[in-house]
Every structure is written in structure tokens, then in C-alpha cells.
Amino acid sequence: MMSEQHIIDGCIRHNRKAQQALWRQHSGYLLAVCMRYATDRPEAEDMLQEAFLKIYFNIGEYSGTGSFRGWLRKVTVNTAITCYHRNLRYKHNVDIDDYVSTETGTAGFEEDFCNAEDLYRVLGELSPGYRMVFNLYAIEGYMHHEIAEMLGIDVNTSKSQYSRARAILRKKLEDLADMNKR
């Protein structure tokens, strides 16, 4: 097993072995990241491919400070944002369901009623804009003003989209929990 530094150096030299090692070690994690941003698995794979090409060609820019994994994730998230902007041109209609106001309870979610697959599915069912904002805010931990800047939208838009995305997700998860109980 190559060490992280070996892999990075090898990738800078375009060493095929190092490139493959990088893929082996991190592709699973980054695919999971992409899955959060994509509607479905094929889209996530396309995103991952693009992200990895970016990583391979720009690995020299990794400064060495901060975790390498964090850097990889950042590149991947940026790729997802690029993809989102690109797709925006083609997918600008929002599902009517997204606008239906949903009653949300305040009961906490138990961790075990659903698995990661379910979460990917409900995320994938969100409209791309909602999914983007939710991911960036809830999971990546960006602030609304940062998200607004990244996506080129208004801060308030980011906030309201997040709120709606959250409501939709909650409704869907509640439905899911109900179904699982039965």
C-alpha cells in the first residue's frame, strides 16, 4: 500500500500506479459525496469522473495543509456545483410537489428507521436547487451567504430554499417511517 505522500507525488508525475492507488483509496468516498448531489447513480458517476480528472490534473495544487481527503471532497463538491450550473440551463422546471406546503412535526428521527440508500433516494427526489442548498448547508456546513455566492443566488433564496428542502425531506422521511412501521 502506497502512503498518501507517495500517491500524491506519483500523481503529480502522472504515474499510472499512483493514479490507480488514488482511485482505489478514495473513489468510494467521493462517489458517496457525488451521490448526495446527483439525481441518480449514473449522474453521480459522471460527476465522479469529472471530479477525478480535476484531481489528477490539479493535484499539484494541494498545498499539504489540511487533510488530503478534505481537499478531495472540496474539489468534488466544486465539481458538483459546476455540474449544477451547467445543468441549470437544461433543467429549470421544478416539480410541483416541491411547492406544496408540507405539515411538519417536530418529533425527532430515530437513526435506524432508514439507511443511506433511502437518504440518497429522497435527496435524489429533490429538485437540483434544493438538493444543492441542503447539501451545502446541512452536510458541508457552509453558511447561507457562502452558498449564495457559490450558487450565484440571493442569500434569502438560499435560506428559503433550504427551509423548503428541509420540509420536503422531513415529509418524505415521515412517510418512509410510516411505511416501515406497517
Partner 1 sequence: MTEEERNDGLEDLFRKKLEENEMETEGALTSRVMHSLQRREFFRFNLLRFNIYYLTFSLAALTVAGLILLTGPRDAEEASGDGLPQQAVTAARTDEPVLQGEVPQAGDTMKTSALRVRAATAQDEASGTVDTSGTITEKITGRETAIPHTRPVAETVKVSTVNTAGINTATGRTGPGNINPAAGTTAGGRIAADTTAMILSFETSASSGCVPLHVSFACNAEENARISWTFGDGGTTSLRNPDYIFDIPGSYRVTLTAIDSRGHASVASAVIEVWERPKAAFEVRKNEPFDEGDKVVFVNLSSGAAEYLWDFGDGVFSALPDPSHRYEQMGKYNVMLIAWSAEGCADSVMVSDLLTDRGMYIRFPNAFIPNSGGPTGGYYNLRTDEESSVFHPVASGVSEYNLKIYSKAGLMVFGSDDTEVGWDGYYRGELCAPGVYVWKVRGRYRDGREFIMAGDVTLLKY
Q: Which residues bind partner 1 (CB under 8 A)?
A: 13-14, 19-20, 23, 27-29, 31-32, 35-36, 45, 48-49, 52-53, 56-57, 104-109, 111, 114-116, 119-120, 123, 134, 138-139, 159, 162-163, 166, 169-170, 173
126, 134 in Cβ contact below 8 A?
yes
Minimum CB distance to partner 1 smaller for 92 or for 163: 163
Minimum separation from the CB atom of position 64 to partner 1 (A): 22
27, 16 in Cβ contact below 8 A?
no
Minimum separation from the CB atom of position 93 to partner 1 (A): 25
Minimum separation from the CB atom of position 117 to partner 1 (A): 10
Cell reading at 54: 480535476
Q: Which residues of 158-176 are buried (b: 16+ CB within 10 A; e: fewer)?
A: bbebbebbbbbbbbbbbeb
HSE toward the beta carbon, residue 57, CA cutoff 13 A: 5
- How much of the chain is in helix, strand and coil states, percent to nearest 5? 75, 0, 25
Minimum separation from the CB atom of position 90 to partner 1 (A): 22
Provide Rg for the chain, Cα atoms: 18
Minimum CB distance to partner 1 smaller for 28 or for 149: 28
Minimum CB distance to partner 1 smaller for 53 or for 92: 53
Minimum CB distance to partner 1 smaller for 15 or for 88: 15
Minimum CB distance to partner 1 smaller for 23 or for 68: 23
CA distance 125 to 168: 10
- Cα 133 from chain centroid? 10
Minimum separation from the CB atom of position 169 to partner 1 (A): 6
